Amino acid sequence: MLIGALLLGAPFAGGREAGGVSWLEGRPSHESRFSVLLPEIVGFPAPVRAAFAAGIALGTGNWAWTERVRNADGETLARWDPSQPPGRRIVLLEVDGQRPTAGEVEAFLKRARSELAEGVKERPVLSRRMQRVVRAMRFSELRREAGRIDYRLEFAEPDLRGLGWVDRAFVRVLTGVEGSVVVDTQLPGFVAVDLSLAGPVRLLPGVKIERLDVRIDSVPVPEARTWLPRNLLVEIRGGAWLFGRIARSLEMAFSDFTNVGLAPLPLEEVLAGAGAGGQGGE
């Protein structure tokens, strides 16, 4: 999920403001928490930097959307709208196709706030573990066609020094994936992402992740000056001697994008913060 969120960019990666305040409670901000990525992506190819920057420029306070989530617990349908007053920015519409009960609404909002608060701990700087993941990313161009570039994403051996065992496991799993990332050079953004674990990753004695797949496809939204996600699928398989087989999946579908009135930051301004270097050609 975190690789997917990282590549999706600002609008759908937790809704934190740069200062560590959730837009659920505070005032929406133009600046995305992913602004902290800028010093780390200087070495990326220019089109990849532009795709990251387009999401950062979009900001967390510009767009409302509807989000359908399906996992082992069932299916939820919710509307996220930063233009609404605090406390009304997430509305749970359905649970398993039915109108939610008061208890389901309370549990959903509690879980959403908990997940958002987890990321606030890492602001306004990038966490050490995510920093190691980003620094290990390597993009190599495969092909160009009709204004799009298909890159292969692989990871160099990550630097695990100074990390606790939980963070080490996190970094080892994320840097164990490989696959393709398609970016658009005319309307900067990530068009599609298809990543899979290259091989089993042993986390602890008797605990390993055997499979991790992340797939994302997006839709062009010229008004947003970037691509916005349409579908995201994450599947994970593994095993632990104490708990048996591990099998989890997450499906997310985004729709009904609505501009709620805040203009994006100038893309050129954000790109300037990402530097002019690169791993390869433009």
Q: According to the model, what pLDDT value does residue 13 have?
A: 43
Radius of gyration of the CA atoms of the chain, in A: 19
* Alpha carbon separation from 165 to 129, 170, 195 (Å, rounded): 11, 9, 24
Residue 244: both structure tokens together: 């048996």
Q: According to the model, what pLDDT value does residue 243 have?
A: 60
Instruction: Considering only residues 93 and 25, tell me which one the structure prediction assigns the higher pLDDT.
Output: 93
Q: According to the model, what pLDDT value does residue 59 have?
A: 56
Which residue from 44, 6, 25, 3 is spatially nearest to 280, judged by alpha carbons?
Answer: 44
Instruction: Considering only residues 25 and 251, tell me which one the structure prediction assigns the higher pLDDT.
Output: 251
Q: What is the DSSP string of 39-57?
A: GGSTTS-HHHHHHHHHHHH
Cα 51 to Cα 115: distance, rounded to the nearest angstrom = 25
Q: Which residues 6+ apart lie within 8 Å of 89 measured at CB?
A: 23, 24, 80, 81, 82
Angle at 99 between CA 86 and CA 96, to 5 degrees: 105
| Position 163 pLDDT exceeds 50 | yes
| Position 208 pLDDT exceeds 50 | yes
Q: According to the model, what pLDDT value does residue 35 have?
A: 62
Q: According to the model, what pLDDT value does residue 40 have?
A: 80
β-bridge mates for residue 211, sequence order: 237
Q: According to the model, what pLDDT value does residue 261 have?
A: 65
| Position 101 pLDDT exceeds 50 | yes
Across residues 157-180, what is the average pLDDT? 92
* Alpha carbon separation from 236 to 18, 103, 141, 217 (Å, rounded): 30, 29, 27, 19
Position 182 confidence tier, pLDDT thresholds 50, 70, 90: very high
| Position 273 pLDDT exceeds 70 | no
- Mean residue pLDDT of the chain comes to 77
Instruction: Considering only residues 230 and 262, tell me which one the structure prediction assigns the higher pLDDT.
Output: 230
Amino acid, single-letter form, for residue 1:
M
Size (the chain), residues: 282
Q: According to the model, what pLDDT value does residue 263 have?
A: 55
The model's pTM is 0.78
Q: Which residues 6+ apart lie within 8 Å of 191 measured at CB?
A: 148, 182, 183, 184, 217, 218, 227
Which residue from 211, 218, 205, 210 is spatially nearest to 253, judged by alpha carbons?
Answer: 218
Q: According to the model, what pLDDT value does residue 104 have?
A: 92
Instruction: Report the percentage of the chain scoring pLDDT > 70.
Output: 70
Instruction: Report the percentage of the chain scoring pLDDT > 90.
Output: 32
Which residue from 143, 193, 203 is spatially nearest to 172, judged by alpha carbons?
Answer: 203
Write the pLDDT tens digit of every residue in 184-204: 999 999 999 999 999 988 877
Position 175 confidence tier, pLDDT thresholds 50, 70, 90: very high
Write the pLDDT tens digit of every residue in 50-62: 888 887 766 555 6
Position 45 confidence tier, pLDDT thresholds 50, 70, 90: very high
Amino acid, single-letter form, for residue 85:
P
Q: According to the model, what pLDDT value does residue 260 have?
A: 76
Cα 26 to Cα 62: distance, rounded to the nearest angstrom = 15
